[in-house]
Amino acid sequence: MKRRQLLLLVLFFLFYAGAGSVEPMLSLFFQEKGFPLEQISVLTILPRLMIFFAGPLWAGLADSLRIHKLIFPLTMALSIPFALGMLPDMSYGWLFLVTLLFSISFAPVRSLCDGMAVSVLNNKSYEYGRVRAWGAIGYAFATLIVGFFAEFYGSQVALILFSIFMFLAVFINTRMKSLPQEEIVSFNVFSKNIFSSWHWIKFLLIAFLAGTSISMVLTYLAIYLKDIGSNSALLGFSLSVASLSAIPFFFLAPAVLKKHSPLSVMQFSMMTLALRCFLYTRVTNPAFIPLVQLLHGLSFSLFWSAGVLYVKQLVPQGFDASGQSIFVALYFGLGGVAGGFIGGMILANQGAMGMFNFGAMAALIGLLVSLIPSAKKKSVQN
């Protein structure tokens, strides 16, 4: 068990280092290729769209057939050639196709990581934040070195570093032994219960609105910083500050979740997210943006840790990957699509101020939804 947990920490570090290499830089990479903002907004929502559609399908396939050992490394390995395939100069149509294939293969990896983590932790799932903290360390490490190398070699270095980290993650994953899982309910019963439970519906609405808000920050902050005069080094530093601020709050999350319910923690995070978006509208000097980025730990780390634990409490044993994939699908998937597309349109027509104001409003609406009372949720055997 100790060896499995150690490999799990390394896997989280490598996967999130790969994600940190490419996710914040993708919009800038497309911009440097010379595409207009309207086309960039379509390309940047493809990974989010596939998280919503392809992610749950991959995870459901893994859970229903119990083939996590195959699906997990396969999807990571498939993402590598498609990431490198975006590097050559090509027409918008071909780039759209390659980005789509990359997005389909990469879609389930985050939820498969979370599903594996809560399965390994089992009845200590509240300690998930300590595992996820190593992902935040990897993300911060990657954004820092990407910003440094991008100053000399351009944003395409992000895709190269992503491929290196993913290759190492595949290797580590193949060294991990699968956990024996006993199916308690059928996959059909699990799926029907999701859409008949008010707790699930309310939670998914909250995840969608919070994901919409933070997606605008994650997708377009790099472009905003360039527009207000930031160089690549300061851009990379600003992104790294956000990732670094996430680390201590992931480590603190287990203690917080022992004293407070997951829902109350998510409510606090949404208030902080609204404040974060508001502050972007007031700070126009790129040198002060890192101070705002310090709120990332409160607005994301605590929310994500609470959300993962909330899902773990709702789903039956054997369906951790599917449950987490639905959370990811609404937060990073559908919420990411809404944030990427709507944010891109607002950014093009009303500027960054209008976009960040919309992000603050989405977070506050999510907070209001969370305050709607509901019956006591039923416990599940897990």
Question: pLDDT for 95-138, tens place per residue?
Answer: 999 999 999 999 999 988 998 888 888 778 888 999 999 998 99
Return the CATH fold of 2-174+193-370. Answer: Growth Hormone; Chain: A; (1.20.1250)
pLDDT reading at 182 higher than 60: no
pLDDT reading at 345 higher than 80: yes
Mean pLDDT for 290-317 is 90
pLDDT reading at 190 higher than 80: no
The single residue listed with the structure tokens 């490598």 is 14
**Three-class DSSP category at 281:** coil
pLDDT per residue as tens digits for the range 5-63: 889 999 999 999 999 899 878 888 998 889 987 788 788 878 888 988 898 888 888 87
pLDDT reading at 358 higher than 60: yes
- Taking alpha carbons only, the member of 175, 185, 178 closest to residue 66 is 178
DSSP state of 297: I
The model's pTM is 0.83
Contact 238/225 with Cβ under 8 angstroms? yes
Mean pLDDT for 282-306 is 91
> What's the CA gap between 358 and 185, in Å, rounded?
41
Res. 381 pLDDT band, cuts 50 70 90: very low
Residue boundaries of the structural domains of the chain: 2-174+193-370
- pLDDT value of position 382: 46
Residue 92: CB atoms within 10 Å: 15
pLDDT per residue as tens digits for the range 137-161: 998 888 888 878 887 888 899 999 9
Res. 377 pLDDT band, cuts 50 70 90: low
CA distances from 117 to 1, 61, 122, 131, 237 (A): 12, 18, 8, 7, 29
> What's the CA gap between 75 and 85, in Å, rounded?
16
Contact 290/241 with Cβ under 8 angstroms? yes
CA distances from 171 to 5, 72, 74 (A): 16, 11, 11
87: alpha, beta or left? (left if phi > 0; alpha if psi -120 to 50)? alpha
> What's the CA gap between 309 and 370, in Å, rounded?
16
- Taking alpha carbons only, the member of 22, 30, 51, 40 closest to residue 344 is 40
pLDDT reading at 184 higher than 60: no
